[in-house]
A and B are shown apart, each in its own frame.
Chain A
């Protein structure tokens, strides 16, 4: 379980997250929606410790992320992250991209790591691209590669940071399809997204961010059919 209490985050003078309370249970799919700059992505970076926080706590399976004694490298293995700019490693082939972390972080043998990598690449539908370099893959394929790479660490949670925002429109579908597949398999997911269709169909709950706070959080159905907050209504009327 991910438990967030009174989270405060500043970038210099800028108050980005102003007291976030949030709980994500095992097996839950939470979508985070809201305007750009409302702090959605920052939240994900805070959850896996890529950003420092200035107040409150984030606890993942009982481990406090920003505690000085926490082994972040170990904790991060339980949280896969997928970035907006996919960030495949350009100097490695697809299978090397996926096998690297299992090998050097989890200390698996080379053949074991390759086995894991193959399995995950099949999982995301890239079985015919094993020995291809990222530069020869489309954006959608690179993003699926990034998903496979994260899955290869056998994470308990997956964090998606606007995974489809940088893609050409015709490539969005294949990535959403892969995310949908993961959700069906029971993966716990936090998806920062602008894809309202995905948020509505796939998520258990949806959180609407506004100006560094969670303005409203509810089941996907309630958020999209009966939003209580005026701000949520306004936002949804604009994006629909």
Chain B
């Protein structure tokens, strides 16, 4: 039926390398999420609360992140900055690109979250003598994070999958590593099939853990 013999042995042999590379994938995705959440929070607050230049800046960031291909964003931090003489390592190119993208998407999620919490919550907090920072970090943001928790999980999954673009800027995460072995052995289908399974399991694990975490965090 097929004029092709599957050869899984090379894949099995390099499985430890692939798994190690998937940890790199996870690492860059997690870091880009942490950075993205922090920047995204600031972008959304800036967009809601300010006018003029700061608002313009936040809006530009969000628009670019959401409305251009993620690959181009990665290329900007790789080849774009490279042309200006700033040479990042592949790891930082991917980290910067994903963080930029995450921040833009998350900022819009957060903005929805902020709008969903009644303004009077802040007034109540202030009436108790809390300063603005305390009111935000103790009252507003915990409620916002709950509202955006599942969109945030989605973005995390998205970041894991998007990091595969790293292979195009020479980053040896799971896809880069897979590509490396595939071209070395010409077992292209086998390697990418194995990588797909690893991605699938990783994402399922993330979703499972986030569900457990949600049950612990949000008891109200």
Contact = CB atoms under 8 A, between A and B. Distances in A.
A100 interface: yes
A87 interface: yes
Contacts of A76: 126-129
A89 B121 contact: yes
Nearest to A51: B123
A36 B139 CA distance: 30
Interface stretch (A57-65, A77-85, A170-178, A214-222): A77-85
Nearest to B132: A73
A104 B134 contact: yes
Contacts of B219: 133
A219 B120 CA distance: 33
A174 to B, nearest CB: 20
Nearest to B137: A104
Interface residues of B, number: 21
B124 interface: yes
Interface in B80-137: 118, 120-121, 123-131, 134
A17 B219 CA distance: 43
A105 B129 contact: yes
A60 B129 CA distance: 15
B220 interface: yes
A122 interface: no
B69 interface: no
Contacts of A135: 220
A83 B120 contact: yes
Contact of A85 (B118, B128, B134, B146): B118
Contacts of B134: 104-105
Contacts of B54: none
Interface residues of A, number: 27
B143 interface: yes
Contact of A91 (B127, B128, B146): B146
Given A85-B120, A91-B142, A101 B126 contact: no
Contact of B127 (A50, A85, A100, A133): A50
B138 interface: yes
Interface in A182-240: none
Given A85-B118, A87-B120, A89-B139, A105 B126 contact: no
Interface in A28-60: 48, 50
A150 B138 CA distance: 17
Contacts of B125: 89
Contacts of A134: 220
A171 B81 CA distance: 64
Given A74-B129, A105-B129, A106-B129, 18 more contacts: A73-B126, A73-B130, A79-B127, A80-B127, A81-B124, A83-B120, A83-B124, A83-B127, A85-B118, A87-B123, A90-B143, A91-B218, A91-B220, A100-B138, A101-B129, A104-B138, A134-B220, A153-B128
Interface of A: 48, 50, 73-74, 76-77, 79-81, 83, 85, 87, 89-91, 100-101, 104-106, 133-135, 146, 149-150, 153
5 contacts: A85-B118, A89-B125, A101-B129, A101-B130, A146-B124
